[in-house]
Structure formats: structure tokens, C-alpha cells
Amino acid sequence: MIDQSPPFVPVAGIRLGTTAAGIRYRDRRDLVVIELAAGSTCAAVFTRNQFCAAPVVVARDHLSRQQPSYLLINSGNANAGTGKEGMQSAIESCRSLAALCGCSEDRVLPFSTGVIGEALPLERLVAALPDALGSLDENGWLHASRAIMTTDTVPKLFSRRIEFQDGCFTVTGMAKGSGMIRPDMATMLAYVATDLALDSRLLDQSLQQAVEPSFNSITVDGDTSTNDACVLVATGKSGCEPVRDPQSEVYGLFCDAVESVCMDLALAIVRDGEGATKLVSVRVEDALSSAEARTVAFTIAHSPLVKTALFASDPNWGRILAAIGRAGVPDLEIDRVELWLGDVCVVSGGGRADGYTEAAGQAVMDKQEILIRVVLGRGVAFATVYTCDLSNEYVRINAEYRS
């Protein structure tokens, strides 16, 4: 068997513990506790779905009051659409962990992922907490990245080790996500940590910059989840001087490292899209604004007809052209639009490009990684989003998810 365990670098001041609580899955880890060193700072972004899950509501509230000491994550049950009972379960899970650790309950942030609309088996979760705490380990990242998986087929875990004149620091992140993936977060959980010392303001600024080109630029199926969250933690245990100046070299290096890890995690989610066989980049150029470019790109990326053609490796460029045309771009001059598959120009001047052949388009579509490039001819703005094909396996996985 090929070892698919991703390499990682532990982060000083972070310990992770896992256990099998039997929340939904049998004989596998499904509960994670992450311990943050005293003095750590934290920033987070959450789903924009208005039907957000109970743990999202509780985590937002707790983070607004205190810097956390522990993150509590369960897979197999989303604790979403569960009303007052679900809210109480999220609160009680925090209260139970806090009692074991000797901290206030608002220093625990809860996270859940899995089936929506089913009551969280709180007794099983609480009973498993001592075992999770007993396994806390600086090297627990790989077990944790596997424990948070639902329909994922591989763990998603990446690190960067950055050296600069006055020292070095680490950024390590893990994520889960495979289906119900659409921007404004997705059905994904992501946890990124560094051993640098930064205040929550700089941490939040870095996270906001990192999620836009990464997690907020991916889509598998156009569905925004109820449970999405991305957390960035700084423990301050690197031995480097605290970062206070947003114009400093080290802060720039840090932001680049966070964005790089987030991008790796985001692309890993798309590659692992339920039943996916292709990674597809959709780049729209020469738009009037980046918002316009993103709208066109997502219209293409969300089209079931485009996505099924990608699965079939069919250079059916008419489907892409139709998506561009219905993206709502005002006063679009179709004679100025160009469509490219990889380095092959397919459409120019309002119709099939001179010299385009089906064989050339087929050669691009046969690849596992494909670039769809659209030139609108309206301005200088651009945007790139990342998606995958839509396969028979996607339908099977989602049809059988609750069975």
C-alpha cells in the first residue's frame, strides 16, 4: 500500500489529541481536541450560510469574548438544523471540556462536520473527552487531519518553515472538505497555526487576505455549508520577537506563508472533490472589475453541463460559451471575447477561432489538470477560481451519504 501520509512540521505551543467517540463512524477517530499554549492569539472566519450550525454560533460568541485555550472538533455529525437542543449540546460540549481542563467554557471553540439535522450524541462525545486529552501530542497533526474527514479520501496537511535574518518560524495547516464546497467558506474546516507571536488584529488581517484567493475561490458543487470555519492561531513560541508592524519584512513573509498553506489546502479539497477526476482552473481576464471576473468564472465553474463535459473529457466549448453569455455581464461585446483551453484558442471574434481543431481541444481536455481562460476585452481586472468535474461517483456518494 502506498503511504499517502502528508509531511508536516509541528508547531511549538500546539498539541492535538484524537479518539474514537463513535459519533457516527465505527472503529475510527472522530473527535479532536487542540490545545493552544497560554498567551496564544486566534482569528477565524465562518460560513455565511444563514442557517449556520450551533457550533458556529457558539464559536463566534466565545471568540468575541475570549482568546481560546482549546478547539473541540467532531466529525460525523454537523449539529446543524438541530434547534435549541443542538445549541445546548454545543454549549455543554464546551462546558465539559472546560471542566476537565480547568478553564472557563468560553475558552473552548466547538466545531462540527457531518450529517445535518441529526441530534449530536452528546453523551458519547463527553465520555470520549478524557481519552482525547490523554493523547495530546505536538505531533498529533496527522491523526487529527484524518479524524476530521467525512467523505474525504485523503488527509489534507501542509507546512512551511520560513527562515529570515532574525530567526525562523513555522506555519502548518490541516483541512477537511470534499463535497458541499462553495465560496463564502465551504463544507470545510481548516486549522492553521504558527509559532510566531502576533496580535489578533494582524492575525485577522492575514487570514482575511489568505482566504480570498484560496478557500473563497474554490467550488466543487456550488453548495455553501452550514458549518464552515477557518481558524488561524499564533502561539508565540518561536523565540522570535513579536510581530507588531504590518509593514515589516517578517509580517510579509508570514502572510505569504499563510496564503501558501491555505492555497495548498484549498486545491487539495478541490482535487479530492467527491468523485472528482480533474482539477480545473477558470481564469477570467480583461474584466471591468475583479467582482465581474469572479462572477463569470463561477458561472462557468458551477455549470453542471460544463462540469459533466469535463468529466467526459469532451471539448464541448459551446457549453462554456453559453455560461459566459448568461453570467449577467452588462453590454458584453461578444466579438471581443476570447475562450482558451490551455494554450489553445477556441473562440475569437464571436465564433470558432481560425485554426482551431477538435483534436487540439481534445488534447487539453484529456489532461487531469485543465486551464479554462476567458478574455472579456473590457478592462484590466482578472480572477481565478478552482473547480473539478462532476462524475457518476459524485452522485453515488451523495445519494448514499446517509445510508
Q: What's the pTM value of the predicted model, to 2 decimals?
A: 0.90
pLDDT tops 60 at residue 182 = no
C-alpha 30: how far from chain center = 19
What pLDDT score was predicted for residue 51?
Answer: 74
Contacts of 361 (CB under 8 A, 6+ apart): 315, 317, 341, 344, 346
Q: Give residue-wise pLDDT tens across range 299-334.
A: 999 998 999 999 999 999 999 999 999 999 999 999
What pLDDT score was predicted for residue 392?
Answer: 73
Mean pLDDT of the chain: 91
Give the domains, in start order, of the chain with CATH numbers.
14-271 (3.60.70.12), 279-399 (3.10.20.340)
d(CA 5, CA 17): 18
Nearest alpha-carbon partner for 286 in 376, 385, 383, 384: 376
DSSP 8-class letter at 336: G
d(CA 18, CA 398): 27
Helices (H), ranges, 272-369: 290-302, 304-311, 317-325, 358-365
Nearest alpha-carbon partner for 18 in 177, 174, 147: 147
Q: Give residue-wise pLDDT tens across range 354-390.
A: 999 999 999 999 999 999 999 999 999 999 999 988 8
Nearest alpha-carbon partner for 259 in 312, 202, 215, 293: 215
| Active-site choice (82, 187, 226, 235) | 187
d(CA 389, CA 277): 7
CA angle (56 as vertex; 147, 226 as ends), nearest 5: 80
Contacts of 94 (CB under 8 A, 6+ apart): 58, 62, 72, 105, 106, 108, 109, 110
187 is catalytic: yes
Nearest alpha-carbon partner for 76 in 152, 154, 182, 6: 152
Q: What is the mean pLDDT of residues 263-275?
A: 85
